[in-house]
Amino acid sequence: MADRSNSASTGTVADGFERVRDLFDSYLLTDSNYSAQVAMYWRGQLIVDLVGGPGLDADSVSCVFSSSKGVAALVIGRLIDAGKLDPSAPVVEYWPEFGAKGKEKVLVSQLLSHQAGLIGLDGGMTVDDVVDSTAAAERIAQMRPMWRPGAAFGYHGITIGIFLEELVRRVTGTTLQEVYEKEIRAPRNIDFWLGLPESEDHRYRPVEPPVLSTAQLLDTEEHEFPSDSLSVFGSNNPAFPKESGLALSPNDRRVRAAGFPAAFGVGSARGLAQVYSSVFDWDGDPVVSKDTLEIMAQEQTWGPDRVFGNVRSFGIVFMRPTLGLQFGSVKAFGHDGAAGRLAFADPLHDLAFGYIPWPMQYTGYGVGADPKSLELSRLVRETIRQHA
Amino acid sequence: MADRSNSASTGTVADGFERVRDLFDSYLLTDSNYSAQVAMYWRGQLIVDLVGGPGLDADSVSCVFSSSKGVAALVIGRLIDAGKLDPSAPVVEYWPEFGAKGKEKVLVSQLLSHQAGLIGLDGGMTVDDVVDSTAAAERIAQMRPMWRPGAAFGYHGITIGIFLEELVRRVTGTTLQEVYEKEIRAPRNIDFWLGLPESEDHRYRPVEPPVLSTAQLLDTEEHEFPSDSLSVFGSNNPAFPKESGLALSPNDRRVRAAGFPAAFGVGSARGLAQVYSSVFDWDGDPVVSKDTLEIMAQEQTWGPDRVFGNVRSFGIVFMRPTLGLQFGSVKAFGHDGAAGRLAFADPLHDLAFGYIPWPMQYTGYGVGADPKSLELSRLVRETIRQHA
Amino acid sequence: MADRSNSASTGTVADGFERVRDLFDSYLLTDSNYSAQVAMYWRGQLIVDLVGGPGLDADSVSCVFSSSKGVAALVIGRLIDAGKLDPSAPVVEYWPEFGAKGKEKVLVSQLLSHQAGLIGLDGGMTVDDVVDSTAAAERIAQMRPMWRPGAAFGYHGITIGIFLEELVRRVTGTTLQEVYEKEIRAPRNIDFWLGLPESEDHRYRPVEPPVLSTAQLLDTEEHEFPSDSLSVFGSNNPAFPKESGLALSPNDRRVRAAGFPAAFGVGSARGLAQVYSSVFDWDGDPVVSKDTLEIMAQEQTWGPDRVFGNVRSFGIVFMRPTLGLQFGSVKAFGHDGAAGRLAFADPLHDLAFGYIPWPMQYTGYGVGADPKSLELSRLVRETIRQHA
């Protein structure tokens, strides 16, 4: 194995942030299977932009799974700022068909914070549904929620993508991906896409399953669910109730080209950090107003999650730090993603953060963010305090 | 002990379900103290009907404790179908006296899903109260809830029986037991009674306390509550606040003859499975309509229980599967019962399930269902998937 | 160490309660670092009044930290009884400025049960703010809640003191401390102050940090939070976001002279027990009516706490017993305090209880009451049952 040992990272860190590189290098030097990109902006300046490990370079882009949700959140924020979408209004105001089976009073803020009780779609979703969720939206509008509105919240890992897309379709007449591209990504040349264009596809690194240790395998088995359980239902077993693997993968070109906002955004860690840096007002043109961000970061839910049982907190789309996933300060908002992804903004520290490990990291049951990303976040926050 | 070792089970299993018998036999052959009945219907056909172990035969009936609640739920479902009871209406619409002490707005759906905050009855309940709960209903109507409506939910192990009986009295003018007998049990010749008649009493097997291992004794001591605690209050210490044993036992002929629906239904495992098979529409005459069942199975509560602290979920009367008690698929509803009982319907699999161990099984703190019943359920659901 | 071993306690116990003294003595005789006062009233009679250990005598007074909140609760109860404050009214009815940033509908009962989502004050509180919270009230009124009203509850360890003081100022035109002194303390000569007068200051024992064992040190480190976390925010790091120690200490004469009701009440254990004994109607003049106490003890919240993650329950200001902190019977209400304090009333047993250890006890993460106080409480409750 000696010949496969990692070198240190390449890339840049700003003066005073050298310890962040040291910590990142320590991961690379002790695990030859580990590779990752990490990037951070502080007060609009790129202070960390590092990459290391086999198979990955500064130009690589990868799928960030649920961290895509935090990117899509900014599109929702634009609509709120424009007065086109009111999070405190009932969903039926924009999407009348949604009112079926006792859902008339469900609010937009509830729908976008995992409170609607529509964890899975009966029958599952296919690649076609992910490329265009219009039909899936029609089907889910006819479902009865698993719980009375207000009784619980639980991670709508896949179906929240339907809600995000349908709301944008209804409110704007165009797609979430187009709004993101035109109003957010293109003007700032952000290295992150909801729908990876052909022109960037040569940079794509396919996601690969994590290499599991024996302890991790045992942990996985301990948390294995029956194939007819809620957890599997929420992960979209497309042929439910028949067993089958998860058919939806960003390694399928159609999937990553569509950029379904629940799971299939693609970019670099620098791109993710750019996304969150764009919410600050360094250049007089923040993507979303401070007031709207405050409203979206306000916790709509906190507590044990109906699907996974672990404690989480969500604002409108955004994830919030909790005792078990302390990714940022008391003021931070963002989103983790399966197999180690993490991205967030932290207004207390004027910080934007993006992290993508590759291959996928084993992060344990029901948690996306790599523990390494939490350590990197804590270190940079401490460093900023000493600086500022 | 060798001469006491169990034989294999007797009874029948349908072709293709032999592994269910193998699993059940493995329990019998490894534990000479174990005896149980297990029965299952699939698409209206009795696919498993087994009994084994000392002291029990196919004709035995026993008390199923809280699994009685799921049987009583069907009476509530009949009243909803008949338009006589609206679960979204306030309780006072049917029971005006209930409105005292800030309970005016408590809904029927809240009252029947352990949300009312009336965990115990001050002064406790006697055998007379269990035979006729009219006076107990008058007393509980005058209590102030332990929590503001909506603040929590907690298992109303005994008092939900008062609510069920009083609502049926108010709405129909007759008793819950009579509605069950006339509209549900007798027409289908179901081998399960809310109020065991004299004619069947010779089949009754008295409940006996479980034989505890040292580890189980220690676990019991660790979870022992002060006699003035909420948990004991909710279990109806009848002379509360003075100590005394639980005076209410189905081994008392008056108690099992009355069939108090919170705890004292009596029947066979086949009878329990018949109850839940009757909700399916195989013969064109389901006991309760599909729409009403969907409404009743919708989760009114989920999360840690105020009384026991463990995570549970309840619809209207029915219990729902949770991560810690995964008794059926994401679509299942039913109810466990103290000391190992379990019964449910699972619409995803067209399955009805009943299980009664005897003597009582030690199942640990705050859980009714025997882990063996969860294994039997999982095996039959997997078998059905391979079949179907 | 032999020469430092504690003697037994001094003080009195009523006939029949000798076992309480025996238990208390067992703590003193096995831990030479331990000292404490404990006092209890039963049906208006002082049945236990004990003190022991180094540095403490019957005349000593000490700061009880959060147990002060339960004392302040009685002032709120007086205002409710007088019809001046309605707990079910919105806060803005008394404090219009509070309505900013989406708080128009927050109820008094929510504000006083840790549901408002105003865990900390941006910028922190100084000694001046604790001496007069008027400016802090103006600042907190302009904050946006961390969660939507109803989404969670979490311990407002410091800021609830602002709410208590501001509500009393708005409703009465005078201070909470003056109402307490004139209407509650002075008429009954209670040995507990919100604002320790100069004349009693010679009795004050400074609080001292606990002596930690190795295991306790490790536990503390395991539960150490980032300095930018919610838990630190809620503990009022006054220079937030810059690190600094907690600047507010009752050992500062200005702080204990002001008697901020969230944390800085000072008295003896007998005084605490007197406070809670005054709620009973032994002399025909209870401090607060039975009906108001019932409303205040009704649980407004129960479940895991947003700040600490452990399960707690609160009525209006009062803390309620939970499985993890079973300080009294199902009917008890009171409040624990940092580093071991506990005080409560238990109407089921006609009991009032006060306990102050000194020096501070290590009680583990997020819990105030000393486990010894729970044992003493359980023993006296059992003894009363055998008596009564």
For C103-159, give the DSSP string: TTT-BHHHHTTT-SS--S-TT---HHHHH-THHHHHHHHTSPPSB-TTS-----TTH
Q: Residue C194, class by beta-carbon neighbours within 10 Å (0-12 exposed, 13-18 middle, 19+ buried)?
A: buried
Calculate the average pLDDT of chain C.
Answer: 92
CB B327 within 8 Å of CB B342: yes
Q: Which residue of B228, B237, B308 to mutate against C (max C Cβ within 10 Å)? A: B228
| CA distance linking residue A57 with residue A60, whole number of Å | 5
Q: Which of B168, B110, B121, B167 is nearest to B144 (CA)?
A: B121
pLDDT at B388: 64
Contacts of A16 (CB under 8 A, 6+ apart): A383, A387
Has residue A209 got a pLDDT over 80?
A: no
Ranges of H-type helices in A10-66: 18-30
Q: Which of B305, B370, B310, B315 is nearest to B337 (CA)?
A: B370
Q: Residue A215, class by beta-carbon neighbours within 10 Å (0-12 exposed, 13-18 middle, 19+ buried)?
A: exposed
Per-residue confidence at C236, pLDDT binned at 50, 70, 90?
Answer: confident
Predicted confidence (pLDDT) per residue in A102-137, tens digit? 999 999 999 999 999 999 998 888 899 999 999 999
Contacts of A47 (CB under 8 A, 6+ apart): A13, A14, A17, A40, A41, A380
How confident is the model over B29-53, as a mean pLDDT?
96
pLDDT at C124: 86
Neighbouring chains of C at 3+ CB pairs under 8 Å are A, B
CB B283 within 8 Å of CB B276: no
Predicted confidence (pLDDT) per residue in B162-173, tens digit? 999 999 999 999
Contacts of C169 (CB under 8 A, 6+ apart): C134, C137, C175, C176
Has residue C275 got a pLDDT over 60?
A: yes
DSSP state of C213: P
Q: Which residue of A148, A232, A310 to mutate against B (max B Cβ within 10 Å)? A: A148
CB B16 within 8 Å of CB B6: no
Please report residues of B whose CB lies closer than 8 A to that of C303.
152, 303-304
CB A300 within 8 Å of CB A316: yes
| CA distance linking residue C64 with residue B97, whole number of Å | 44
**By mean pLDDT, which of A229-243, B60-74, C137-151 is the weakest?**
A229-243
Predicted confidence (pLDDT) per residue in C160-205, tens digit? 999 999 999 999 999 999 999 999 999 999 999 999 999 999 999 9
How confident is the model over C358-381, as a mean pLDDT?
87
pLDDT at C147: 97
Q: Select the highest-mean-pLDDT range: A355-359, A369-373, B220-224, B233-237.
A: A369-373
pLDDT at A211: 73
- One-letter amino acid at A209 equals P
CA distance A211 to chain B (A): 27
Contact B298 A145 (CB under 8 A): yes
pLDDT at B243: 39
| CA distance linking residue C134 with residue C377, whole number of Å | 38
Predicted confidence (pLDDT) per residue in C32-57, tens digit? 889 999 999 999 999 999 999 999 99
| CA distance linking residue B288 with residue B297, whole number of Å | 12
pLDDT at C20: 98
CB atoms within 10 A of CB C149: 17
Please report residues of A whose CB lies closer than 8 A to that of B304.
304
Nearest to A298 among C144, C230, C241 (CB): C144
Q: Which residue of B329, B350, B353 to mutate against A (max A Cβ within 10 Å)? A: B329
pLDDT at A3: 43
Q: C220-243: b or e for each residue (b if 16 or more CB lie within 10 Å)?
A: eeeeeebbbbbbbbbbbbbebbee
More confident residue, B386 or C377: C377
More confident residue, A43 or C237: A43
Has residue B326 got a pLDDT over 90?
A: yes
Has residue A363 got a pLDDT over 90?
A: no
pLDDT at A381: 96
Contacts of A247 (CB under 8 A, 6+ apart): A126, A127, A238, A239
| CA distance linking residue A157 with residue A66, whole number of Å | 7
Has residue B37 got a pLDDT over 70?
A: yes
Has residue C23 got a pLDDT over 80?
A: yes
CA distance A152 to chain B (A): 6
pLDDT at A6: 76
CA distance A150 to chain B (A): 9
Has residue B245 got a pLDDT over 50?
A: no
CB B69 within 8 Å of CB B58: no
Predicted confidence (pLDDT) per residue in C60-85, tens digit? 999 999 999 999 999 999 999 999 99
pLDDT at A244: 37
Has residue A264 got a pLDDT over 80?
A: yes
| pTM across the whole model | 0.94
**By mean pLDDT, which of A88-97, C91-100, C143-152 is the weakest?**
C143-152
CB A176 within 8 Å of CB A194: yes
pLDDT at C239: 41
pLDDT at C359: 77
Has residue A241 got a pLDDT over 50?
A: no
pLDDT at B237: 58
C109-C111-C116-C122 Cα dihedral, nearest 10 degrees: 180
Calculate the average pLDDT of chain A.
Answer: 92
Has residue B188 got a pLDDT over 80?
A: yes
pLDDT at A5: 60
Q: A321-339: b or e for each residue (b if 16 or more CB lie within 10 Å)?
A: bbbebbbbbbbbbbbbbbb
Contacts of A30 (CB under 8 A, 6+ apart): none
Per-residue confidence at A1, pLDDT binned at 50, 70, 90?
Answer: very low
| CA distance linking residue C289 with residue C280, whole number of Å | 9
Predicted confidence (pLDDT) per residue in B349-368, tens digit? 999 999 999 877 777 766 78
| CA distance linking residue B384 with residue B363, whole number of Å | 27
Per-residue confidence at B217, pLDDT binned at 50, 70, 90?
Answer: confident
| CA distance linking residue B335 with residue B262, whole number of Å | 11
Taking the CA atoms of C85, C320, B109 and B255 in sequence, report the sign of the dihedral they define.
negative
Q: Give the whole-number percent of chain B exceeding pLDDT 90.
A: 78
| CA distance linking residue A296 with residue C103, whole number of Å | 16
DSSP state of A353: E
CB A141 within 8 Å of CB A100: yes
In chain B, what's the furthest Cα-to-Cα distance?
A: 62
**By mean pLDDT, which of A363-372, B333-342, C101-110 is the weakest?**
A363-372
pLDDT at A160: 97
Has residue A243 got a pLDDT over 60?
A: no
Has residue A239 got a pLDDT over 60?
A: no
Contacts of A224 (CB under 8 A, 6+ apart): none
Per-residue confidence at C150, pLDDT binned at 50, 70, 90?
Answer: confident
Phi, psi of A323 (to 5 degrees): -55, -35
Q: Residue C2, class by beta-carbon neighbours within 10 Å (0-12 exposed, 13-18 middle, 19+ buried)?
A: exposed
**The pair of three-digit structure tokens given for residue C199, joined into one six-digit string:** 């004349």
CA distance B228 to chain C (A): 5
Calculate the average pLDDT of chain B.
Answer: 92
CB atoms within 10 A of CB C15: 7
pLDDT at A261: 98
Has residue A245 got a pLDDT over 70?
A: no
| CA distance linking residue A199 with residue C286, whole number of Å | 80
Instruction: Identify the closest residue of chain C to A327 by CA–CA distance.
Output: C229
More confident residue, C284 or A346: A346
Which three-class secondary structure string do you get for A219-237?
HHHHCCCCCCCHHHHHCCC
Nearest to C330 among B147, B228, B303 (CB): B228
| CA distance linking residue A110 with residue A130, whole number of Å | 22
If you count them, how many residues does chain B have?
388
